[in-house]
Amino acid sequence: MNTTHKKRTNVTLNAENLATAREFGLNVSAISDAALTEAIQAARASTWADTNAAAIKERRDWISENGTPLADFQVLKVT
Q: pLDDT per residue over 25-48, tens digit each?
A: 999 999 999 999 999 999 999 999
The answer to whether position 54 is within a domain reads yes
The whole-model pTM stands at 0.70
Contact 31, 21 (CB under 8 A): yes
Structural domain that includes position 37: 15-73
Instruction: Indicate the number of domains in the chain.
Output: 1
Rounded to an integer, what distance in angstroms lies between the CA atom of residue 76 and that of residue 14? 52
Q: What is the pLDDT of residue 70?
A: 85
47, 41 contact by CB (below 8 A): no
Cβ contact 64:57 at 8 Å: no
**What share of the chain in percent tops pLDDT 90?**
76
pLDDT of residue 76: 77
Q: What does the pLDDT average to over 44-69?
A: 96
Residue 79 falls inside a structural domain: no
Residue 59 in this model has a pLDDT that exceeds 90:
yes
In a domain, 1, yes or no: no
User: Quick check: 2 pLDDT over 70?
Assistant: no
